[in-house]
Copies of this chain bind each other. A is one copy, B any other.
Amino acid sequence: MSKYTISTISDELNEELTLKINNKTKPVGSLGKLETIAYKIGRIQQTVNPKLIQPTIAVFAGDHGIAKEGLVNPYPQEVTFQMVMNFISGGAAINVFANQNKISLKIIDAGVNYNFGNIEGLIDSKIDMGTSNYLQTKAMTTEQCEEGLKKGAQIVEEIYQEGCNVIGFGEMGIGNSSSAALLMSIICNIPIDDCVGNGTGVNEEQFQLKLKTLQQAIEKHSSLNQNDPFETLSTFGGFEIAQMCGGMLKAAQLGMLILVDGFISSAAILVAFQMNKQILDYALFTHHSNEQGHTKMLAYMNASPIINMDMRLGEGSGIAVAYPIIKAACTFLNEMASFDTAEVSNKV
């Protein structure tokens, strides 16, 4: 497991950070979660003047064998590649939010069931034309899963080399809320019924079919070792989830700030969390999804997202919308006056 080693964050600056936060011209604690975020970023960057440099959201897209059957999703599988094309041409939600908040986007083909050829703006990180159907076999072979972790790490390494120190993980993949639910059920040891939700919007009948399908998938792989995150990931994961997981581990190793999106992005860090709990020291959860399983998954990681806009879109949309709040945490820490310089009286 040495390849998943993550440095423990030093406590050396804790006191200085607290002092700087408390000496700002405001009642102690009155900026609430912004103070917690500022403290966390200061610790990650080991400075009392943290900066968010070249913020980037990496959107990993992949297809799922299960989705071909229409058993878990109301949208046809080709929506994955169509949405990738939409990302490339700038018309999706993540494009317009990232653009508004000056966040760079990287669109990654982690394993979409479509031959894109050589398209400008698309990073080719394809493992295969979609995973296998986990009702029949493991979604990924051991080699594919290893490749996924490795390719995700490489992509993050490249983004880091370009100068970025804060990276968000978004995704696109018809059927991937089912993968996320299965990963959650195994890793958190929570019945699949409590992990399945509406995804992008199934009706009641479709929901029952989705639930039944995922129950069958769990039964099919009942010999799975739930203490082995790699085995769980290869059994139920998607290529995009594997690459996100590998990318998140690499980001933590590089000391970057990791921004987690909604249900599927959280499932990726859940797998990474089982590999190395320290990853959470580097992560901020940005959005509490409307997907029903997210609440319990977050509780398992003791995570409390920044906003809750009842969104359930993925793509990294929650990250992009919440990003200015994260920036505000750095802004107040760097730019606000302190009680002494501003000549404001403190509490009597």
Chain A residues at the B interface, C-beta cutoff of 8 Å: 24-34, 70, 74-76, 78-79, 82-83, 85-86, 89, 91-93, 95-97, 99-101, 200-201, 290, 306-313, 317, 320-321, 323-325, 327-328, 331-332, 335-337, 341-348
Q: Are A328 and B100 in contact (CB under 8 A)?
A: yes
- Each complex incorporates copies of this chain amounting to 2
Q: How far is the CA of A242 from the CA of B165 in the complex (A)?
A: 46
Task: Please give 8 more A-B residue pairs, beta carbons under 8 A apart, in addition to A29-B201, A31-B309, A32-B312.
Answer: A30-B200, A93-B336, A96-B335, A99-B331, A99-B335, A201-B347, A321-B325, A323-B324
Chain B residues with Cβ below 8 Å from A335 are 95-96, 99
Q: How far is the CA of A313 from the CA of B31 in the complex (A)?
A: 7
Q: Are B344 and A82 in contact (CB under 8 A)?
A: yes
Q: Are A332 and B76 in contact (CB under 8 A)?
A: no
Q: Are B34 and A311 in contact (CB under 8 A)?
A: yes
Chain B residues with Cβ below 8 Å from A309 are 31-34, 306, 325
| CB proximity of A283 to chain B, nearest CB, Å | 18
Chain B residues with Cβ below 8 Å from A89 are 337, 342
- Cβ contacts A to B, 29 pairs, < 8 Å: A24-B93, A27-B75, A27-B200, A27-B312, A29-B312, A30-B312, A30-B313, A31-B93, A32-B309, A32-B311, A74-B347, A75-B347, A78-B345, A79-B344, A82-B342, A82-B345, A85-B342, A91-B337, A92-B337, A93-B336, A97-B331, A99-B331, A99-B335, A201-B347, A309-B325, A321-B324, A321-B325, A321-B328, A324-B324
